[in-house]
Amino acid sequence: MADAVLRNEADQTATSRKRASANRRQYRAPRFLPLWALIGGVIVVALIGSYPYYGSNAYVLSLLGKFLCFGLFALSIDLIWGFTGILSLGQAVYFGIGAYFVALSLKINYAMDHPTRYGGKFPDFMEWNGLTELPHFMAPLVNTPFAVVCALVVPTLLALLFGVITFKRHIYGVYCAVITLAESLILQDAIIEYQAYTGGFNGITDYSNYATPAFLWFILAVCVVFLLVSRALTHSRVGTVLKSIRDNDVRAEFMGYNVANYRIFVFCVSAFMAAAAGALYAAWVGIISFLDAGPVFSIEGVIWTAVGGRGTLIGPFIGAFVVKGAEFFLSGALASWWQIIVGGLFIFVVLVMRDGIVGTIGNLLRKRRKGATFEEVMEDSDRRAHDRQLDWQPGGPPPADEPVR
Amino acid sequence: MTNLLEIKGLTTRVSGFTIINNLDFSIEENELRVLLGPNGAGKTTLICMITGQFKPASGSIHFAGRDITGWAPDDIFQAGISRKFQVPNMYETLSVFDNVMVSLQGRRRVFSTLLLRLSGPERDRIWEILEFVELADKASDPADSLSHGERQWLELGMLIASNPKLLLLDEPTTGMTEEGKHKTAELIRKIAQTHTVLLVEHDMHIVRQIGKRITVLHQGQMLADGPMSEVMSNETVRRVYLGKGKFQ
């Protein structure tokens, strides 16, 4: 029907049609993978991947793998926070569960070949806590591939459950942040409480981890795949819908989108990604504790995303590398100052670079073409941050003049 | 002519107040209906009821032969009702082009949008719509860089893109300049040639420019209903709504 309206309009003058085609030719749709991103990505991947050949520092090597896992974790937060507007302060739950499955499996396998002091062929921390054999429900974890599948599937299903409970009931915004935070606290306490099965405070240590260059390349490959998947997701129609939900969920709902289903979907994808990061992390570092599932780690992930630039895909990785990198190197060089410096960095980003490192650089480059000054770009991102704060209530800003349901 | 929208005995209460009181209201297909009423008459509430934002205390809403009473907003949209909010309501950080793209008629479920590609005809249609609301030269700009009037037009374009059976326009000229209001009225008049439109409007100039049949609400009840000239000369309407017999 509307076609007719528009056809009437278009047929009125030939000049309007000509103008339309001129606008259309000028319009450049964003590309899936711009050339600069491809070249830059290849260079960075090559630099990280070839470190075992030009660098001999085992500590740096271990940090590289760690940071990649942290970056992947931050990317999973960015998908829900930066692209869909769900702030989760409990993303470490999914990271932690993934990590614990893998760590437990590796530990059980390690214990088979390395009996404990008392001759037990099961994890030593279980023996200290009075168990005499491997609990039956843990027996399937001997099979490491099965444990990896569990590490990925269980968190995703948990996220599905969580999503159905909260998003379907129109709970989001601050309430969602608080609930996820509580979720993270519960898991952390449960891990400490059931120490016979989880290692409790000490965590799970002393198992044969995969700290080899080959495994670094594997982590790198997984990161690249997830980056490309995220790009495909955010670049597609679903991604546009997710961003429109972030911008204005009420409008999206009145445009026929079932907002809750989209939130649940992206939450599950994000949990899957966080779980993969956790699984890789456990296999790489060889030590896992309750801290890796707790609220502090969750919030750290949010900070990396904010510093790197939420709403950009490479930002979370840069944020993780910059913040964690600063932490590791400054803690050696300036032992008594590094916490202040890292804290100052975070405050600087929040106060001055509202869109994070990558977001601010992107804005600068984009607006430079139109001749905007640095101050204007900063003001602009300040204004947008302010608008977002106004939206910072359940269900977005109430429509003017309308009583609240 | 059949009635596209049929409301019977509708009553709404919000925190103890009866906003709409036992209202019977219907719109015929391909009609352009103007809804008038003083502040608090229940105009916006009526739109919220139709789109499912509020649930009625009693009464029924039938649309295109189906009972849509108590449906969720996204289901009511699927049935064919699109709504324009009083304040411009779009996706601020998306480009103007993407704003229209997301609103295109089509699939809405998560897994069917996952692999959805923009087809050639759809692309043509987006450009037609952008040209129609005169925003084609700003297609790649983020929507929050638009002026107030342009935002209103963008939202109109988004509604056209969704190709609904019934458009509910809640004061689309609020906060516009005279020139902007005039242009908006032209757009609405064109849309109304092929769509059923329910327009809430305060500005009498606009109402005169496009209005045919007018319904006046007062305190949640229908006060008058009929062609423009008839309603305008109705004594009760003059007293309640226009006050002091003033028209211009």
Integer-rounded Cα Rg, in Å, for chain A is 24
Structure tokens given for A164: 């159905």
Residue A290: its pLDDT value, please? 93
Q: Which of A318, A384, A381, A317 is nearest to A353 (CA)?
A: A381
Compute the average pLDDT of residues A200-227. Answer: 92
pLDDT tens digits, A247-298: 888 889 889 899 999 999 999 999 999 999 999 999 999 999 999 999 999 9
Phi, psi values for residue B28, rounded to 5°: -85, 165
For B166-185, the DSSP string reads EEEEE-TTTT--HHHHHHHH
Residue A63, SS3 per DSSP:
helix
Q: Cβ of A2 under 8 Å from any chain B Cβ?
A: yes
Q: Is the pTM of this model over 0.80?
A: yes
Q: Would you state the pLDDT for residue A272? A: 97
Q: Is residue A198 part of a domain?
A: yes
pLDDT for position A345: 81
DSSP 8-state class, residue A19: H
Average pLDDT, integer, range B109-137 = 87
- pLDDT over 50 (residue A401): no
Q: Which residue has the tokens 């352009």?
A: B32
User: In B, residues 57-96, which contact A (CB 8 Å cutoff)?
Assistant: 72-74, 77-78, 82-83, 85-87, 89-94
**Residue in this structure with the two tokens 């509307």, named with its chain if needed:** A2
User: Does A68 score more than 90 pLDDT?
Assistant: yes
**What average pLDDT does this structure show over A60-74?**
95
CA distance linking residue A94 with residue A162, whole number of Å: 12
The most confident of the ranges A124-133, A255-264, B234-243 is A255-264
CA–CA gap between residue B130 and residue A22 (Å, rounded): 13
Is the pLDDT assigned to residue A389 strictly greater than 70? no
Contacts of A405 in chain B (CB under 8 A): 53-54
Find, in chain A, the residue whose alpha carbon is nearest to that of B139.
Answer: A27
- Within 8 A of B90 by CB-CB distance, chain A residues are 247-248, 251
Q: Which of B220, B169, B238, B208 is nearest to B45 (CA)?
A: B220
Asked whether residue A84 carries a pLDDT value surpassing 60, the answer given is yes
Asked whether residue A362 is domain-assigned, the answer is no
pLDDT at B29: 87
Q: Do A254 and B73 touch (CB under 8 A)?
A: yes
Q: Which of B76, B128, B130, B186 to mutate to test the interface with A (most CBs of A within 10 A)?
A: B128
Cα–Cα distances (Å) from A310 to A74, A102, A222, in that order, read 9, 29, 21
Q: Does the CB of A251 have a partner CB in chain B at under 8 Å? A: yes
CA distance A278 to A101: 9
Interface residue B139 vs chain A (CB under 8 A):
yes
Q: Does A317 touch chain B (CB under 8 A)?
A: no
d(CA B103, CA B89): 12
| Cα–Cα nearest to A73, from A219, A354, A273, A370 | A273
CA nearest A359: which of A318, A320, A324?
Answer: A318
- Of all residues in chain A, the one with the smallest CA distance to B46 is A402
Q: Percentage of chain B with pLDDT > 70? A: 96
pLDDT score recorded for residue B12: 86
- Closest residue on chain B to A246 (Cα): B91
pLDDT the model gives residue B248: 38
- Model pLDDT, residue A20: 63
Lowest mean pLDDT among A32-41, A79-88, A150-159, B234-243: B234-243
Q: Is B24 helix (H, G, I), strand (E, B) or coil?
A: strand
What was the pLDDT predicted at B1?
52
pLDDT at site A129:
84
Counting residues of chain B whose pLDDT is more than 90, the rounded percentage is 15
Mean per-residue pLDDT for A2-17? 49
Interface mutation target, options A3, A6, A167, chain B, most CBs of B under 10 Å: A6
Nearest to A158 by CA among A203, A95, A201: A95
Tell me which residue of A325, A331, A284 sits closest to A308, measured CA to CA: A325
User: What is the reported pLDDT for A11?
Assistant: 47
Considering only the beta carbons, identify the residue of A9, A254, A403 that sits closest to B51.
A254
- Per-residue confidence (pLDDT) for residue B242, from 0 to 100: 61
pLDDT digits (tens, 9 = 90+) for B178-212: 888 888 888 888 888 888 999 988 777 788 877 77
Instruction: Give domain status of residue A363, yes or no.
Output: no
Checking if the pLDDT of A231 tops 90, the result is yes
pLDDT of residue A396: 43
Give the model confidence (pLDDT) of A302-355 as tens digits: 999 999 998 999 999 999 999 998 888 887 777 778 778 878 888 888 788 888
Q: Check if A205 contacts B (Cβ < 8 Å).
A: no
B115 burial level (CB within 10 Å; 0-12, 13-18, 19+): exposed
CA distances from A140 to A135, A143, A235, A338, B170 (A): 10, 6, 39, 44, 61
Beta-strand relationship, B3-14 and B213-218 = unpaired
Q: Does the pLDDT at position A12 exceed 50?
A: no
Structural domain range at position A204: 58-291
CATH number, domain B1-80+164-248:
3.40.50.300
B241: confidence class by pLDDT, cuts 50, 70, 90: low
Return the residue of B nearest to A263 by Cα: B110
Q: Which of B54, B93, B132 sits opposite A247 (nearest CB)?
A: B93
Question: What pLDDT was estimated at residue A264?
Answer: 96
User: In chain B, which residues have their Cβ closer than 8 Å to the Cβ of A11?
Assistant: none
Residue A288 β-bridge partners: A204
If one counts the domains in chain A, the total is 1
A1–B127 C-beta distance less than 8 A = no
B5's enclosing H/E stretch is: strand B3-14
**How far is A129 from B157, CA to CA, in rounded Å?**
67
Structure tokens at B205: 């100039």
Q: Stretch A380-404: mean pLDDT, rounded?
A: 55
Place of tokens 């479920």: B109
Average pLDDT over residues B165-180: 86
Instruction: For chain B, give every residue range classified as CATH 3.40.50.300.
Output: 1-80+164-248
pLDDT digits (tens, 9 = 90+) for A137-188: 988 999 999 999 999 999 999 999 999 999 998 887 889 999 999 999 999 9
Overall average pLDDT of the B49-64 stretch: 88
More confident residue, B69 or B174: B69
B190 touches chain A (CB under 8 A): yes
Task: Say if CB A74 and CB A283 are below 8 A apart.
Answer: no
Q: Does B124 touch chain A (CB under 8 A)?
A: no
In a domain, residue A11? The reply is no
pLDDT value of position B246: 44
* Nearest-by-Cβ selection for B91 from A28, A251, A311: A251
Task: Tell whether B30 lies on the interface with A, counting CB pairs under 8 A.
Answer: no
Render A153-213 in DSSP notation, one character per residue: HHHHHHHHHHHHHHGGGT--THHHHHHHHHHHHHHHHHHHHTHHHH-GGG-B--S----SH
